[in-house]
Amino acid sequence: MPEGVIVKALSGYYYVKPLREGKISPEDEIVQCRARGIFKKRGQSPLVGDRVIYSLTENGEGMVDELHPRDSELIRPPVANVTLAVLLFSVREPDLNLQLLDKFLVHIEHSGLDTIIVLTKRDLAEEDGEGIAHVKELYEQIGYEVMVTSSRTGSGSEELRKRLAGAISVFAGQSGVGKSSLLNRLVPGLSLETSEISMRLGRGRHTTRHVELMDIGDGGYVADTPGFSQLDFLELGVEELSACFREFVPLAAECKFRGCSHLHEPGCRVIEAWEAGEISDSRYEHYKLFFNEMKDKKRRY
């Protein structure tokens, strides 16, 4: 029976791209499929990115018969088998929000994906090259890969396309940062709907309405996902938070007390590193903010 990958899910249909020798075949036509009722009975739901076994039906459509085990699964956005998260944050319109960036990074660290931080709209901040360089250096020192792009001028687009070759990536970030514009740059002729930023609200309209894998060439596929600006920590335990701050991990093992919260305990190596300037003020402040937010949520639920 043929195998494929779900590249889009919409209105109860799953759009499957056939696999050839284990790779998505760009030449083959997409097969529109329904899913067998057995998945509902098992409490399973096929996701975009799932590798599946399917069968062809008499009307030229198909039926998803079986799901292969997943290498990864994101709850929001709902997508499977992603290996790389591309976090898009604009340097202007809206202004760069490091607190939200750190919140996204916590969720991506918890999911176990590799991450690239892409700073967009470089052309809107030509006079602030020093500030952009500071942010780039801050996150590269932690161990993140950081790229700077401009969809208007095209700078950085080719470098990013090469980086995404051969992988299924998920694009995520604050609404209005230019995800669709960047994808239009990566895939000429794609013509995704984009929207201008509302200066009154400081955010963009949600222009992406469903998850879909897009072929960007060289074996690379990108899951363009609905823009969102709110994340919660319901699926993350407060005791897991510090492990989602990369620079805390090697230090936490040296803390005086097991299960150290890194907030007030004596002999805390994380606090010592922060006081010594080895951990940035913004990262430590955001850690404390997230910790308290999670404690408050736990009390409420």
Binding site, residues? 120-123, 173-181, 255, 260, 262, 268
Q: Which residues are annotated as a binding site for Zn(2+)?
A: 255, 260, 262, 268
Please tell me the distance from the alpha carbon of residue 238 to that of residue 292, in angstroms, as a whole number.
Answer: 9
Are the C-beta atoms of residues 105 and 247 closer than 8 Å to each other? no
181 CB-near residues (< 8 Å, 6+ apart): 120, 151, 152, 194
**Three-class SS of residue 282?**
helix
Q: Give the Cα separation of 227 and 207 in Å (integer).
A: 7
Q: CA-to-CA distance for 93 and 109, rounded, in angstroms?
A: 26
End-to-end alpha-carbon separation of the chain, Å?
46
Q: Find residue 86's DSSP bridge partners.
A: 116, 171
Q: Where in the chain does DSSP place strands (E)?
A: 3-10, 13-20, 23-24, 31-35, 51-56, 62-67, 73-74, 79-80, 84-90, 114-120, 145-148, 168-173, 197-198, 203-204, 212-217, 220-224
User: Shortest CA distance to 89 belongs to which of 76, 99, 80?
Assistant: 99
Burial degree of 142 (CB within 10 A; 0-12, 13-18, 19+):
middle
Residues that constitute the known binding site for GTP: 120-123, 173-181
What's the rounded Cα separation, in Å, for the pair 169 and 201? 29
